[in-house]
Amino acid sequence: MNYTREHNEIILKSLIDIDINMNISIFYEKQDSYKILRDLTYYIGNVSADLKDISENREDVEIAQNTYNDAKYIRKEMQINSQDIYYLYIYINVFSKDKKELEYSLNKIEGILQSKGLLTRRANFRQEQLFITTLPLMQNSSDLKLAAKRNILTDGLICTYPFISSSIFDESGIYIGRNIYNNSMIFIDRYNSKKYKNPNMVVFGMSGAGKSFYIKLLILRYGTQNISQYVIDPEREYENICKALDGTMLKIGPHSNTYINIFDIREESIEKNEKGYLSNKINKLKGFFNLIFGEMNEEEKSIIEEKLIQLYETKGITFNDKSLYKIINNKRKFKENKDMPILEEFYNILGKDERAKKFYIKLLPFVKGSLSFFNNYTNIKINNKLIIADIYELGEENIKYGMYIFTELFWDKIKINRNEKKIIYMDEIWRLIGVTSNKEVASFIYKIFKTIRKYGGSGVAITQDVSDLFSLENGTYGKSILNNSNIKVFFCLEEENINVLEKYTKLSEKEKIEIKSFAKGECLMFVGNDHILVKIESSDFEKNIILKGDFLEGNNDSNK
């Protein structure tokens, strides 16, 4: 290979990123600095004399002048900047089972290198020696050296650095897909705490870009690793996955017979040796009622807290944590679902105070109207590795209530065992941290993403409405969740959403263009400090499970 006199970029980057089966071997031979300096000084003296007597041929003058200047530059760098000089040899061995394909690959490589100012020579009648040089035997044949040798200074070695292709192969990771540029396989172990700060992930993509397919694929693959997974499903698209993994489907809505009581205090809601069951619950309830009543001022929040304290007192529950236990057969036991208040009891307490009249009126649909299914004792137990929370029947206006209830329920489940790996998937998360939410709810979601790793858990935020995600408090909570997610996945997005993301992520101009033009199932992944373009891949077996479900529900947001 021949090189330009000066090169300002990594010369092998464009070569390594192409999908061609080849081996590249690089040899560096450090030379004796004393001998090189002596030869250079002798050469400079001779050329200097020749330049005085050289013919008037302009081309000869320029060639001699260039070599003269190069020799002086090399001598200066060695003497003043203490650089060493090396001989560089680069060999490329291309493989193919088909002769035409081999010739095509060779021409492609030659064309790419030529566009960078690099000229190649084929090893005709020296193929065997070149093949041996690309084996891990450290043998650089003398037959090839004369043709491949090029001198290079220490600074120049940087341009030959070969390990520049972004690829991830975590030994215990799950298969994600292939690097679009070089076809290398991507395996990611999100729970590798030595490599990644946290296992959280955000997934952005417009409808039909492939994000739902990707999430379902993750659920299937993590299911084989016996990881507990909790999914909040606002669009009813995970039913088939649930059946395939023998999971539990929870539905809440007008036609469901499963209920969750928002007033439940669970034993796992705070950690061992901590205190404050009731105060912790009241803070969560204020966020929930903010969703129903709209943004409340401090006076209104105080009224709600006062009534909540009265409500729990009717059940003998106070700020003394001992009040949450009862004695059964001489054994101390945490109070059960039937020992907790329900929404109607809170509704009645609000009705007795004129200050709370507007809250009383707004709660009417939840107690006696179309949303009265919220007014029940919890009648479910969660003991499965996969739980799907189907809130589709709640409708557009009421989905946020179901999302909050299930998020709180799953969060308490996640905190039970620190040594067990778990994942909570929050689809359409903008509903809980966007402009339709409130600071209390958004702070709760942010707390999950900030602390979930302590419990062996991982949070996954999914949305197609990027602008809504950053609409509350000037994007404070959306940005916080983004910053607390070590893995960021960007499927195809519209320009408007890309411009919003640019404010909160380090997207380059090239990456912005790529995100806009992705085909279905292609994405840009930020994994720690690595930025990789990935084509999501699945087996036929996985596709059958995922696509069958999408077909039945008529969902087009998948990688079909």
Phi, psi (degrees; rounded to nearest 5) at 82: 55, 35
Low-confidence ranges of the chain (pLDDT < 70): 1-2, 5, 7-8, 52-60, 163-166, 549-560
Nearest to 276 by CA among 337, 316, 323, 313: 323
For residue 551, the model assigns a pLDDT of: 36
For residue 529, the model assigns a pLDDT of: 85
For residue 369, the model assigns a pLDDT of: 94
Domains of the chain by start residue, with CATH: 13-160 (no CATH), 199-254+384-560 (3.40.50.300), 259-379 (1.10.8.730)
Three-state SS for 450-488 is HHHHHHCEEEEEEECCHHHHCCHHHHHHHHHHHHCCCEE
Token code pair at residue 308: 């909540």
Nearest to 463 by CA among 202, 199, 200: 202
Phi, psi (degrees; rounded to nearest 5) at 164: -120, 0
Residue 417 CA to chain centroid, in angstroms?
Answer: 25
Q: Which residues contact 123 (CB under 8 A, 6 or more apart)?
A: 91, 129, 130, 144
Helix (H, G, I), strand (E, B), or coil: what is residue 348? helix
Burial status of residue 531 (CB atoms within 10 A of its CB: 0-12, 13-18, 19 or more): middle
> Helices 277-293 and 399-414, interaxial angle, to 10°?
160
Q: 222 with 543: CB under 8 angstroms?
A: no
CB atoms within 10 A of CB 354: 7
C-alpha pair distances (Å), 496 with each of 63, 178, 423: 54, 28, 30
* 200-245 per-position pLDDT tens digit: 999 999 999 999 999 999 999 999 899 999 999 999 999 889 988 8
Helix or strand holding residue 239 (H, E): helix 239-244
Q: What is the dihedral of CA 216, 218, 223, 227, to 10 degrees?
A: -130
For residue 155, the model assigns a pLDDT of: 86
β-partners of residue 124 are none
339: which DSSP letter?
G
CB atoms within 10 A of CB 204: 28
For residue 43, the model assigns a pLDDT of: 87
For residue 282, the model assigns a pLDDT of: 96
For residue 542, the model assigns a pLDDT of: 92
For residue 329, the model assigns a pLDDT of: 87
For residue 553, the model assigns a pLDDT of: 39
Q: 536 with 521: CB under 8 angstroms?
A: yes
* 32-49 per-position pLDDT tens digit: 999 999 999 988 888 877
Q: 560 with 550: CB under 8 angstroms?
A: yes
For residue 552, the model assigns a pLDDT of: 38
CA–CA dist 104, 373 (Å, integer): 67
Helix (H, G, I), strand (E, B), or coil: what is residue 31? coil
Residues of the chain with pLDDT > 90, as a percent, come to 67
* Residue count of the chain: 560
Residue 425 CA to chain centroid, in angstroms?
Answer: 13
* 119-160 per-position pLDDT tens digit: 899 999 999 999 999 998 999 998 899 888 888 999 888 888
Nearest to 234 by CA among 461, 395, 410, 392: 392
CA–CA dist 251, 332 (Å, integer): 33
β-partners of residue 233 are 390
Q: Which residues contact 49 (CB under 8 A, 6 or more apart)?
A: none
Phi, psi (degrees; rounded to nearest 5) at 33: -60, -40
Kindly provide the b/e burial profile for residues 217-248, where b requires at least 16 CB atoms within 10 angstroms of the residue's own CB.
bbbbbbbeeebbbbbbbbebbbbbbbebbebb
Q: Which residues contact 249 (CB under 8 A, 6 or more apart)?
A: 239, 242, 388, 390
For residue 267, the model assigns a pLDDT of: 92
Q: In one letter, which amino acid is 366?
A: F
CA–CA dist 430, 322 (Å, integer): 38
For residue 293, the model assigns a pLDDT of: 94
For residue 164, the model assigns a pLDDT of: 63
Q: Which residues contact 250 (CB under 8 A, 6 or more apart)?
A: 258, 260, 380, 382, 387, 388, 389, 390, 406
* 302-322 per-position pLDDT tens digit: 999 999 999 999 999 999 999
Q: 325 with 332: CB under 8 angstroms?
A: yes
